[in-house]
Chain A
Amino acid sequence: MRSLARLWRRSIQARVVTSTIVLSTLVITLTGWALLRDVASGLADSRRSAAVSEARSGFDYAQSQLDAAVETDAATQSQALTQMVDSLTRSRGAKRTYELVLEGPLLTDDGQVPIRSSAAIEPGSLPDDLADTVRSSAGTYWRYSDLALLGAATSDPSVVVGSQVRAPGSGDTYALFYLFSLEDQQATLDLVRRALLLGGFAMVLMVGGVAWLVSRQVLDPVRLARRIAERYASGNLEQRMHVRGEDDIARLSTSFNQMAASLQSQIRRLENLSRLQQRFVSDVSHELRTPLTTVQMASEVLYASRERLDPQAARSAELLKVELDRFESLLSDLLDLSRFDAGAARLELDTIDLAQIARQAADDPLVARSGVTVRLVGADRPAIVEADIRRIDRIVRNLLANAVKYSGSDVIEIEVAQNTDSASFAVRDFGVGLSGDENLRVFDRFWRADPARAQGGTGLGLAISREDAALHGGTLQAWGRPGRGSEFILTIPKPEGSSKNPPLVSVFA
């Protein structure tokens, strides 16, 4: 059942064929029904008029017989009537197509109306209303009815024609009924109905088949287009549709090919651009790094011998060294960011344990120097992910440096947790906290919470960390309350998992 529903949902062809069959069945049924009705009434009408005229001549004959009869004796009268019925039934043609019923005389002394008939006719065969009308008034009347003979299992449809005849001699009134069987017409009608049914069925099948063929003709190119589009989407940019003829499908193919070509050239252009950018970044990197190395080495030599310099030169050597270090980290941060922007950053995945990283972070010399206490939560249980250890290290160092330098908190909490989908690493402080939209702006490049408090650092650390997290398919998010503290949570998805459902929720959320 579900596979049927799926077929209906997914296949236009199934829908087209099914609805075509349903609709054509409906139309054919309606026309068949109308046709059958017309044929039936036509057949019945012609038979009826023939029947009425044949009956009339019979009535005339019966009337003339009665007019001629002068007998008054009941027995002979009865015999004469029986003979009349016999002669009426015999009078016409080779095969009799009707039965005859004669009622009368209608008025007798004992109220019993004698009935004479040509065959053993079931009493109900004469419709009551017709019989009443004929008995009570003069004239010829007819009705459709069912004719059943005694002992017969089925009744045939028939037309019954009735009229009064009067015997002038005795003054008696008789009701004479002709019952014409419509058996032949019924047979014809059955034949027509069977033909219609069979023809209709065949027609529905054929229409269904035609719909299947036509829809295939239309859908095959569409399906081909879909397959080619899928291959195109999966990166095979050389895929093109085959154009044949000038019909709509050919025009669709042409348009598709044009779209594909234009997309391909756009993608090529962007790829080229990205390659150029990467090459530029790499060249700049090389060209800048070599002189920087020389300068830095020189500054270190100067710095090492600063005791032998005069105070101004010694201080200059110190400033030179400090600022060169800053320059170097700024350059390397900028290059890292440009690699992210150019999409050139690559992961080197290893199996790593975030809990172990948390334990190492607690022993970090940066933390020890700052005199901050680190509390570890959940770092005794492993939280294993596939990640680039150097990038994770960098994120953790950035978060720690951030908490140690800027929060003003003397306690930092590091919490590690994992679930089946991902593992999280949280760094929490209880210092100045974050206000307003600062939890989003901390990740902006060169953003600083308080420009006056800027001390060292490049202002790019968190921006890079967030890119590092994103490169893993993970997230780095910040929460905070002014004066209460702030929290950064890094979530790295496990293989086949996602970071949508992180195992840690911020205490400041």
Chain B
Amino acid sequence: MSYRRTKRDRVLVVDDDASLAEMLTIVLEGEGLTTAVCRSGDRVMAAFTQFKPDIVLLDLMLPGLDGMSVCRQIREKSEVPIIMLTAKSDTPDVVAGLEAGADDYITKPFKNTELVARLRARLRRTDQLAETLVFGDIVLDPAGHTVTRKGEPLELTPLEFDLLACLLGDPGQVFSRESLLQKVWGYHHPGDTKLVNVHMTRLRSKIEDDAENPEVIRTVRGVGYQAIRPGS
């Protein structure tokens, strides 16, 4: 995997806590990223349109409009990666955030290195696929980062694209949730299977005829997932 960064990546920090927001900008600027801060939920969309970030760091607890709603608003307009900052590691909140469209989450308090690693993981793109993949009626073009199904383009987030590319790149291979976390999210996060589960559900809802009875990506009970070539 290699980074393809032609410019300084732009991070939109959405957090109501002034000190934390400033501290985040200090750390991220130190890592060579460009940042902008938004302190209230109802001003996020304006800042988003103006700043055009490559990635959003979003605190879940916000004045004005809460994090989940912000998440959904951004998703309506853009597939930009969203990483939630959450003080709650309680599953329901995290799952709700992921379902609202976030790609990943970090639980406070976190280490600077961890934060940067996760940002980088979401900013880097999968380039190991050189040629276009044709998988039944799904066509995945790595160069253009586009996926079409029966000729219709699919609106996949970069993360969903990576997830799909990972599975289709090695059909028949069973990927455990652990190995998907490693390959797609780019870091080892033991046992955090809800990340995989939530995104797999969303990915299936986009690429499968019937997400309840998936035909492209099958669940291998107790192990993980595998892509099945149609007709095989």
- Give chain A's interface residues, CB within 8 Å of chain B: 282, 285-286, 289-294, 296-298, 300-301, 328, 346, 348, 350-351, 388-390, 393
Question: Contact between B112 and A294 (Cβ–Cβ < 8 Å)?
Answer: no
What is the chain B residue whose CB lies nearest that of A392?
Answer: B191
Q: A297-B23, A301-B27, A393-B191 are in contact. Are A286 and B88 (CB under 8 A)?
A: yes
Which B residues are in CB contact (< 8 Å) with A350? 191, 193
Within residues 187 to 220 of chain B, which ones have a CB less than 8 A from any CB in chain A? 190-194
Interface centre among A289, A292, A328, A351 (most CB of B within 10 A): A289
Closest B residue to A390 by beta carbon equals: B191
The distance in angstroms between the C-alpha atoms of A291 and B15, with both chains bound, is 12
Q: Which residue of B lies closest to A286 (CB)?
A: B87
Interface segment out of the listed B33-41, B68-76, B103-111: B103-111
A389 and B90 alpha carbons, distance in the complex (Å): 15
**Which listed residue, A294, A300, A389, touches B17 by the CB 8 Å rule?**
A294
**Interface check B30, CB cutoff 8 A:** yes
Q: Is the CB of A289 within 8 A of B108?
A: yes
In the bound complex, do residue B24 and residue A297 qualify as a contact, i.e. CB atoms below 8 Å apart?
yes
The answer to whether A285 and B222 touch (CB under 8 A), given A293-B110, A390-B191, A393-B190, is no
Would you call B91 an interface residue if the criterion is a C-beta within 8 Å of the partner chain's C-beta atoms? yes
B59 to chain A, nearest CB (A): 8
Q: B23-61 interface mask toward A, CB cutoff 8 Å, 1 = contact, 0 = none?
A: 110110010000000000000000000000000000001
Q: A289-B87, A289-B109, A301-B112 are in contact. Are A294 and B23 (CB under 8 A)?
A: yes
Complex CA–CA separation, A488 to B46 (angstroms): 57
Q: Chain B residues with Cβ under 8 A from A290's Cβ?
A: 17, 20, 87, 108
Give A390 to B61 CA distance when docked, in angstroms: 25
Which residues of chain B are near A294, meaning CB under 8 Å? 17, 19-20, 23
- Chain A residues contacting B109 (CB-CB under 8 Å) are 289, 292-293, 296, 328
B225 → A minimal CB distance (Å): 14
Return chain A residues, CB-CB under 8 Å to B192. Answer: 390
Kindly provide the distance from the CB of B30 to the nearest chain A CB, expressed in whole angstroms: 7
Give CA–CA (A301, B26) in the complex, Å: 9
Chain B residues close to A by CB (< 8 Å): 17, 19-20, 23-24, 26-27, 30, 61, 87-88, 90-91, 108-112, 190-194, 222
Q: 23 A–B contact pairs at CB < 8 A?
A: A282-B90, A285-B87, A285-B88, A286-B61, A289-B109, A291-B20, A292-B108, A293-B23, A293-B108, A294-B19, A294-B20, A297-B20, A297-B24, A300-B27, A301-B30, A328-B109, A346-B91, A348-B91, A348-B193, A350-B193, A389-B193, A390-B190, A390-B191
A294 and B19 alpha carbons, distance in the complex (Å)? 7
User: Considering only CB atoms, which chain A residue lies closest to B178 in the complex?
Assistant: A389
B11 to chain A, nearest CB (A): 15
Closest to A282 in B: B88
**Contact of A389 with B191 at beta-carbon distance under 8 Å, contacts A290-B87, A292-B109 already known:** yes
Most chain B CB within a 10 A radius of its CB, from A293, A297, A298, A389: A293
Please indicate the chain A residues that have their CB under 8 angstroms from the CB of B194 in the complex. 348
Q: Which of A298, A346, A351, A393 contacts B23 (CB 8 A)?
A: A298
> In the bound complex, do residue B19 and residue A291 qualify as a contact, i.e. CB atoms below 8 Å apart?
yes
Least CB separation from B106: chain A residue: A293
Determine the distance from Cα of A380 to Cα of B34 in the docked complex, in whole angstroms. 51
The residues of A that contact B27 with a CB separation of less than 8 Å are 297, 300-301
Q: Which residues of A contact B30 (CB under 8 A)?
A: 301
Q: For A297, list chain B residues within 8 Å (CB).
A: 20, 23-24, 26-27, 112
**A283 to nearest B CB, angstroms?**
10
Residues of B within 8 A of A389 (CB): 190-191, 193
Contacts of B90 in A (CB 8 A): 282
Q: Which 9 A-B pairs have the closest CB atoms?
A: A389-B191, A286-B87, A293-B109, A289-B108, A289-B87, A293-B108, A351-B222, A390-B191, A294-B20
* A24 vs chain B, min Cβ distance (A): 66
How far apart are A284's CB and chain B's nearest CB, in angstroms? 10
Residues on A with beta carbons closer than 8 Å to the beta carbon of B19: 291, 294
Distance A395 CA – B26 CA, assembled complex (angstroms): 36
- Residues of chain B within 8 A (CB-CB) of A390 are 190-192
Q: Which residues of A contact B87 (CB under 8 A)?
A: 285-286, 289-290
Complex CA gap A324/B30 in Å reads: 22
